[in-house]
Amino acid sequence: MIKHLRSAADLDAATATLILDTAGEMAALAGREVKKLPTLRGRTVVNLFYEDSTRTRISFEAAAKRLSADVINFSAKGSSVSKGESLKDTALTLQAMGADAVVIRHPASGAPHRLAQWVDGSVVNAGDGTHEHPTQALLDAYTMRSRLGRLDGLKVAIVGDVLHSRVARSNVLLLTTLGAEITVVGPPTLIPLDLAAALSPATKVSYDLDSVLPDMDVVMMLRVQTERMQDSYFPSAREYSRRYGLDIARMRKLPEHAIVMHPGPMNRGMEITPEVADSSRSTIVEQVANGVSARMAVLYLLLGGKA
Amino acid sequence: MTSYLLRGVSVLGAAPADLLIRDGVISSGAPEDAEIIDADGLVALPGLVDLHTHLREPGREDAETVETGSRAAALGGYTAVFAMANTSPVADTAGVVEQVWRLGREAGLVDVQPIGAVTVGLAGKQLAELGAMATSAAGVRIFSDDGHCVADPRLMRRALEYVKAFDGIIAQHAEEPRLTEGAQMHEGEVSTRLGLTGWPAVAEEAIIARDVLLAEHVGSRLHVCHVSTAGSVEVLRQAKARGVRVTAEVTPHHLLLTDELAASYDPVYKVNPPLRTASDVHALREALIEGVIDIVATDHAPHAVEDKECEWAYARPGMVGLETALPVVLSVLGERWELIAERMSRTPARIAGLTGHGTDLKVGQPANLTLVDPSARRVVDPAELASRSRNTPYAGTTLPGRIVATFLRGEPTVLDGKAVK
């Protein structure tokens, strides 16, 4: 088993599949009255969060607790970090406390890579800057596999601000590893020029959502921050919605079986309309539930559990 | 003054001969009472001249001082370095440039020539008192806002014109700031993969293209700092073919390293302009050999540990380079001593109008020279650097060539590979 999960590229197909299978076993546990396994008793998992992210932090916390680990939440606000402590000093502190795993969310790309150089425990990337969010990709892959029964050959559109999206990067890498065919869709300003060369040569790029939808098994809508407007990535929220937002009319272009995903938090009315988000095709709430199972699987396997 | 006899030295790779240094100059005649230095197997080069050094004093003496930077320079084979203006306070007045110049004289290891800021506080709004700096004791001739681009085209035009009065030259840090907001590394495949904001090559090329046209229009001299892209080379090639008075430098690291190194997220590889691709490296090497790029300049940029031992995005850009420049160039160009002397000594001295440096090692000329053992190999150990900072990208790398001795006006600043003070 790998030691750290810093990037979805750390996972080969066998390892990724093992994590998804393990997540399935963990999910079965969620249906039981006692939702707890003793596996990580006596182990310490630190949630080191430099960005506000209630849902990801709670998801990791629930995952670690269901595995009976001791959980320490270290939030950058109101801590030594706000007094100017460096990541390295924080890392050495966590090291001294004997953290077996550090789950890190950080606004700077590559912070988990730096952290891994300073701590002995496992490092799990819970989102770093505009780089990656590998456990999100795992829970997304898990959700797709649960709903559609397979990943190999699945056609997946990832739509929106790919340039700034850590979710998109991790999903392209992981889903490609698992045999899915990815098309990224968005305005050219929000798609990196070298995307396919950088991540996976088979990745397709389209600027036209309508032409892509009829072929897709999955459409994953990314959050688009309205601040991008001020930076001229697109002219207005209205124009963005019109060209790249998913509304009922567009959703009807999808095949019957296709699902709609969103990593949250959503901008309802911007990239996705409420009717679509709340429709039966939407897996958005399921993704949250699957997040706990996927993260349990990651912590379990990284910390030496056997499948 | 002690006399020195360099016994069996090979001047620029020529057949071994004795070289006598007396009264600060290369001398002839009988070497009576001269101290003998066994130079068997050593190559003599004119003392190296660096047009682009950050000595950090005043302001960041924790990262480097004029003295420690001078020592690093001497150990790297340099006899003159030009100190960039982005100190604190900024070297934008006669007072600050004279302070740096005086500190250099006191250290006495290399000639420290201050570069003056083009604009007040490097803010890019208003010309600094360029004339006052030119007529100060420091005799400033090169002006640069390095670290920042003189982005305003009208201000750049005025600066280019104004310094004609005292044969000054503007050294431009070519970076269109609107195209590099938040930029962390070269924009390309690697930046996309790493999720780091890209610094597109066009941001450099667009400014160089504009500036060669401005320099042509007003008939001024332009020097381009740290050229880093193949596209910039093409712009320079065309400008030179038209007769524009433009010169350009490349750093050792841009001749050797590529953006792939950023994959470690170790900010020791973070530098501005950023490391580019292998094809850029290739184009820069060719341009240096051909002369489209005139010189090698180190852009020696010392940084305190805490400014590098952090997240990539929060780290300061820059690498130390004085002590490794010649070995890196040797590894890139091989033992082409004439070419190395041209690109690292004569031409930089000529661009700067610096007399007494970059001269041939002939009788009567100032004894500014360095002795290199080309057969030696050295593994770079950051702890051994004389610079106060440790941010070398070459830690653990084996590089050819060892600087054995350096002489400044006939006095050794380095002997047996060690600084004399």
pLDDT digits (tens, 9 = 90+) for B15-26: 999 999 999 999
Determine whether the interchain pair A198/B187 forms a contact, defined as Cβ–Cβ distance below 8 Å: no
User: What is the tally of helices (H) and strands (E) in chain B?
Assistant: 12, 19
Amino acid at A113: H
Q: In 3-state terms, what secondary structure has residue A16?
A: helix
What ranges do the domains of chain B cover?
47-358
Determine whether the interchain pair B195/A192 forms a contact, defined as Cβ–Cβ distance below 8 Å: no
Q: Looking at the partner chain, which of A88, A111, A198 has a beta carbon nearest the beta carbon of B193?
A: A198
Return the structure tokens found at A277.
């988000």
Determine whether the interchain pair A111/B311 forms a contact, defined as Cβ–Cβ distance below 8 Å: yes
pLDDT value of position B297? 98
pLDDT averaged over every residue in chain B: 97
pLDDT value of position B129? 98
Nearest one of B48, B118, B119, B61 to B88, comparing CA atoms: B61
Taking the CB of residue B93, how many other CB atoms lie within 10 A of it?
18
How far is CA B106 from its chain centroid?
Answer: 21
Instruction: Tell me the C-alpha distance between B88 and B72, whole Å.
Output: 21
Determine whether the interchain pair B311/A166 forms a contact, defined as Cβ–Cβ distance below 8 Å: no
Choosing from B259, B299, B307, B373, which is the catalytic residue?
B299
Please check whether residue B41 is in contact with residue B6, taking contact to mean a CB–CB distance below 8 angstroms: no
Known catalytic membership, residue A226: no
Angle between helices B278-290 and B325-333 (to 10 degrees): 90
Mean pLDDT is lowest, of A98-112, A274-288, A293-307, for A293-307
- Length in residues, chain A: 307
Q: Is B197 on the interface with A (CB under 8 A)?
A: yes
Whether B203 shows a pLDDT value over 90: the answer reads yes
What's the number of domains chain A is made of? Answer: 2
Q: Looking at the partner chain, which of B264, B266, B311 has a beta carbon nearest the beta carbon of A108?
A: B311
Write the pLDDT tens digit of every residue in A91-135. Answer: 999 999 899 999 999 999 999 999 999 999 999 999 999 999 999
Instruction: Tell me the C-alpha distance between B373 and B356, whole Å.
Output: 24
Residue in A closest to B184 by C-alpha: A109
Domain identity same for A204 and A247: yes
Per cent of chain B over pLDDT 90 is 98
Determine whether the interchain pair A132/B190 forms a contact, defined as Cβ–Cβ distance below 8 Å: no
Domain identity same for A64 and A91: yes
Domain identity same for A102 and A198: no
Can you tell me which residue has the tokens 């690093």?
Answer: B72
Q: Looking at the partner chain, which of B188, B198, B312 has a beta carbon nearest the beta carbon of A110?
A: B312
Instruction: Tell me the C-alpha distance between B248 and B234, whole Å.
Output: 12
Determine whether the interchain pair A114/B310 forms a contact, defined as Cβ–Cβ distance below 8 Å: yes
pLDDT value of position A74? 86
Instruction: Report CA dihedral (A6, A7, A13, A17) to the nearest 10 degrees.
Output: 60
- Length in residues, chain B: 421
What residues have CB less than 8 Å from A117, skipping those under 6 apart? none
Within a domain: residue A201? yes
Domain containing A39: what range?
A: 8-129+288-302
Domain identity same for A117 and A184: no
Instruction: Tell me the C-alpha distance between B40 and B15, whole Å.
Output: 11
Amino acid at A276: V
Write the pLDDT tens digit of every residue in A164-214. Answer: 999 999 999 999 999 999 999 999 999 998 999 999 999 999 999 999 999
Domain identity same for A28 and A48: yes
Domain identity same for A194 and A113: no
Known catalytic membership, residue A253: no
Write the pLDDT tens digit of every residue in B374-412. Answer: 999 999 999 999 999 999 999 999 999 999 999 999 999
Nearest-neighbour CA in chain A from B180: distance (Å): 13
pLDDT category, A224, cuts 50, 70, 90?
very high
Q: Looking at the partner chain, which of B192, B194, B198 has a beta carbon nearest the beta carbon of A110?
A: B194
ipTM: 0.94
Q: What value does the mean pLDDT take over residues A68-85?
A: 79
Nearest one of B414, B415, B378, B412 to B398, comparing CA atoms: B378
Determine whether the interchain pair A86/B309 forms a contact, defined as Cβ–Cβ distance below 8 Å: yes
First-residue to last-residue Cα distance in chain A: 11
Amino acid at B95: G
Q: What value does the mean pLDDT take over residues A53-71?
A: 94
Q: What value does the mean pLDDT take over residues B275-284?
A: 98
Choosing from A105, A131, A250, A262, which is the catalytic residue?
A105
pLDDT category, B1, cuts 50, 70, 90?
confident
Please check whether residue A110 is in contact with residue B197, taking contact to mean a CB–CB distance below 8 angstroms: no
Write the pLDDT tens digit of every residue in A158-177. Answer: 999 999 999 999 999 999 99
Instruction: Tell me the C-alpha distance between A122 and A115, whole Å.
Output: 10
Domain identity same for A119 and A242: no
B47-358 CATH, one of 3.30.420.480, 3.40.50.300, 3.20.20.140, 3.40.640.10:
3.20.20.140
Asked if residue A263 has a cis previous peptide bond (ω within 30° of 0), the answer is no
Choosing from A43, A57, A106, A133, which is the catalytic residue?
A133
Determine whether the interchain pair A192/B192 forms a contact, defined as Cβ–Cβ distance below 8 Å: yes
Whether A307 shows a pLDDT value over 50: the answer reads no
Write the pLDDT tens digit of every residue in B152-191. Answer: 999 999 999 999 999 999 999 999 999 999 999 999 999 9
Whether B247 shows a pLDDT value over 70: the answer reads yes
pLDDT averaged over every residue in chain A: 94
Q: Is B187 on the interface with A (CB under 8 A)?
A: yes
pLDDT value of position B3? 95
Within a domain: residue A115? yes
User: How many pairs of residues across A and B have Cβ atoms under 8 Å apart?
Assistant: 69
Whether B256 shows a pLDDT value over 70: the answer reads yes
* Chain B residues with beta carbon closer than 8 angstroms to that of A169: 193, 195
Known catalytic membership, residue A56: yes
Within a domain: residue A60? yes
pLDDT value of position A82? 63
Q: Looking at the partner chain, which of A87, A109, A193 has a beta carbon nearest the beta carbon of B194?
A: A109
Domain identity same for A182 and A276: yes
Instruction: Tell me the C-alpha distance between B324 and B75, whole Å.
Output: 9
Query: How open is the CA angle A126-A129-A131, to the nearest 5 degrees?
Result: 80
Nearest-neighbour CA in chain B from A88: distance (Å): 7
Instruction: Tell me the C-alpha distance between A206 and A160, whole Å.
Output: 11
Residue in B closest to A172 by C-alpha: B193
Nearest-neighbour CA in chain A from B285: distance (Å): 25
Instruction: Tell me the C-alpha distance between B90 and B333, whole Å.
Output: 36
User: What is the tally of helices (H) and strands (E) in chain A?
Assistant: 13, 9
Write the pLDDT tens digit of every residue in B104-161. Answer: 999 999 999 999 999 999 999 999 999 999 999 999 999 999 999 999 999 999 999 9
Nearest-neighbour CA in chain A from B268: distance (Å): 12
Query: How open is the CA angle B87-B89-B95, to the nearest 5 degrees?
Result: 105
* Helix, strand, coil share (%) of chain A residues, nearest 5: 45, 15, 40
Amino acid at A167: V
Determine whether the interchain pair A88/B310 forms a contact, defined as Cβ–Cβ distance below 8 Å: yes
* Chain A residues with beta carbon closer than 8 angstroms to that of B260: none
Please check whether residue B50 is in contact with residue B406, taking contact to mean a CB–CB distance below 8 angstroms: no
pLDDT value of position A305? 65
Domain identity same for A138 and A238: yes
Residue in A closest to B197 by C-alpha: A130
Instruction: Tell me the C-alpha distance between B240 and B227, whole Å.
Output: 15
Per cent of chain A over pLDDT 70 is 97
Within a domain: residue A162? yes
Domain identity same for A145 and A108: no
Angle between helices A134-148 and A166-177 (to 10 degrees): 50
Whether B307 shows a pLDDT value over 80: the answer reads yes
Buried b (16+ CB within 10 A) or exposed e, B317-341: bbbbbbbbbbbbbbbbbeebbebbb
Identify the CATH number of the domain in which residue A239 sits.
Answer: 3.40.50.1370
Domain identity same for A151 and A277: yes
Q: Looking at the partner chain, which of B187, B265, B306 has a beta carbon nearest the beta carbon of A114?
A: B265
pLDDT value of position A32? 86
pLDDT value of position A53? 86
